[in-house]
A and B are shown apart, each in its own frame.
Chain A
């Protein structure tokens, strides 16, 4: 019997104990937006924890059915707004696969570089809120100090800080400037020392260790079963990173390592993400060194104003050849070829595996778009790992799974 089960058995055997229901959220300072948890407590012990999502539902999947492929792209900014560019890139890669376009090499490098910057920005917000939830509020502001630098660079590159919409189907919008690269170089030279500051405050701190070690343990098998991805999965010791195992953009050309945890507790997930900061810096540095000359957008990239065509046939549930094959039948009549078929492309965003699934009927809009958002799946795991732990551990678990409700509810 695990420690958590023991705790539950302990309290449920007590005839005098009375259970206590608490609705934690959606207006709660530590539930990262509008997450609501229906808790059944016995004193401080959590008997059951049922996440209740949907408070931030904006219907992005449905909206995109009435928008052209390029019009839906700014909507993906609003999924995981901590790392909007990573979502944009994932979306563009999926549409590129559907339309059979390939971005030029320079664009790939730029995307990789910017995605890693947004990974740093997202992880900074994660460490900030995770530490704040556990009570170390200074880390929060130190992390925001660095995040500000990244956001300012985004602003310089594409005119917006939070919702950049930087990549385009078939490339990227803007080339980098000299000033931008200088700032980036300065940033990545300085950033590792800033990381050490956070670690000085929390890494070996006895309170931090007590709050995170042995809390929210997810064994590797259970993690796979729950469908966890990203650092939450790697913390449990599963070596799975799409950047490494199904590389896209410029990831095959750069050297980096995937940090893997050992015990799968909150502390290991924390260590994994801290290590990912360093690997991201490494990737950015290599991208800067290798950045090749050339165009930044493919010649056959579609125009932003995509024309619509009458639908040919509805492909959902079709029994044709394999889905990927149908996706790659290219219509040759015109340049703006809209594929018929379905396609699933996944990328490694800071939160985990973000997948876009399109069913296309060839009219220029997706017949159906489905987003496999890591946060939604991670929140599902929350209920499982919180059972039998204490109220304070829920907070540590939410932080360590790194969920963002904009992506979960879509």
Chain B
């Protein structure tokens, strides 16, 4: 298959747990990158630290595996130094929202021509399941054994408010939609942010009654509310269900961007 050429076959199978959705997101991103007809020499994948950030290690291009939370900062440097390169950032919720939150909002503000794919598994998976800024209310983790009582971060709202050009959210169940969203993100000049909610059977599912992988995927499927449907509900003044999250293309606009290929 076509996007299969982008994998480093000697490094597969990868280190992710059985049932982890990160591999699905790598597939979708590479399928979108493959449709762009980019050369492997001109494409750079950048990542920070975490489960999600192991992704560029399995991809046959130049990649940067950088310090914790600074993936977007390094990617900004790459893009500013060499605007001809296509830069894609893989990052996780603990990497981007927690320690790298400031880099994230400033990259949105500057509107640098990057594509950021955030694999949001709602927990710190690699270090043993500590609560992250995106852990939903009431969810158990090793640092919130009685249930998380903080409000979670809505990363898409944050990106929209900070000024990103393209923002969308999908889950690891919606593979075709995710592939299209990543492709639109790659085509859009300026900062494009794609948040992907992903199952984590080992750290998140084990503590939150999603012991089977499919239970969690089914939860993601049944609790996602399409943006069009949300807008219809708002139009009719009907209540939007509290426990559901909105998926779809949340923002597409044309703010002046930095570092666009001349």
Q: Do A and B come from one complex?
A: no
